[in-house]
């Protein structure tokens, strides 16, 4: 299925945070990207562990009114993100939270130059402005148990709705896979992969609609 022609195809940036390149999270990132490319859109992966990304925010990088220092590795990420349409976070839930690597990426890359006042009152010119945010997470415990702890809702508030507001993004959608432990059968994995493919195609269609609406606005 080819979704739409354009001067340049919509681009999805997939940020993966898992230390094992053969993990289920890695499969999720690959599956999402393959579905996007089959739809005629572009997908790139930023594999934080493979890149050796440094998650430590230094004092000189903290947002300040008089300017912010942008390190070379952060600038490379900005170059990768700039002009994209969809930002996808793929990570496991460890002790109720994302890996420190992912939190560091938010702090150093997405938050570069964005002050607390801008987060609260708006006005920040961010690379994420009007992008669609997608979160795909996994855990070793069941989704039912996590819901009983109110963990999924809490994570979606912090790593979903909050980011949506802070960076003036367009929409947020998430999917979570529970009970992801070693030794799972292919029969168990295949339906989950199918859900990732469906989400990718759905997102591609939404982005194509965004492009069409923007084109109509320009012509009128």
CATH code of the domain containing 20: 3.40.50.360
- Write out pLDDT tens, residues 78-88: 999 999 999 99
Residue 3 belongs to a domain: no
Looking up tokens 């961010």 gives 126
- H helix runs in the chain, sequence order: 24-38, 48-51, 72-81, 100-105, 116-121, 143-148, 151-156, 162-166, 186-219
The residue segments making up the domain with residue 143 are 11-219
Residue 5 belongs to a domain: no
Total tally of structural domains belonging to the chain? 1
- Write out pLDDT tens, residues 164-177: 888 889 999 999 99
Residue 6 belongs to a domain: no
Residue 1 belongs to a domain: no
Residue 4 belongs to a domain: no
CA distance 75 to 113: 12
Residue 165 belongs to a domain: yes
Residue 7 pLDDT exceeds 70? no
pTM above 0.85, yes or no: yes
- Write out pLDDT tens, residues 29-61: 999 999 999 999 999 999 999 999 999 999 988
pLDDT for the residue 215? 64
**CB-based contacts of 31, cutoff 8 Å, min separation 6:** 193, 196, 197, 200
Residue 107 belongs to a domain: yes
Residue 200 belongs to a domain: yes
């Amino acid at each position: 299925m080819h979704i739409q022609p354009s001067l340049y195809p919509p681009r999805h940036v997939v940020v993966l945070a898992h230390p094992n390149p053969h993990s289920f999270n890695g499969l999720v990132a690959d599956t999402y990207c393959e579905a996007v490319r089959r739809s005629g859109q572009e997908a790139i992966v930023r594999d934080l562990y493979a890149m050796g990304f440094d998650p430590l925010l230094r004092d000189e990088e903290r947002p300040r009114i008089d300017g912010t220092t942008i390190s070379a590795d952060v600038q490379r990420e900005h170059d990768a993100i700039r002009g994209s349409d969809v930002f996808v976070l793929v990570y496991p839930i460890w002790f109720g939270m994302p890996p420190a690597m992912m939190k560091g990426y938010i702090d150093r890359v997405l938050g570069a130059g964005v002050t607390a006042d801008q987060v609260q009152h708006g006005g920040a010119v961010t690379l994420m402005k009007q992008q669609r945010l997608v979160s795909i997470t996994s855990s070793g415990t069941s989704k039912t148990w996590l819901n009983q702890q109110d963990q999924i809702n809490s994570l979606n508030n912090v790593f979903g709705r909050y980011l949506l507001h802070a960076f003036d993004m367009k929409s947020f959608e998430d999917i979570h896979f529970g009970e992801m432990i070693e030794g799972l059968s292919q029969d168990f994995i295949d339906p989950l992969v199918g859900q990732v493919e469906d989400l990718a195609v759905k997102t591609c269609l939404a982005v194509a609609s965004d492009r069409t609406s923007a084109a109509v606005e320009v012509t009128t």
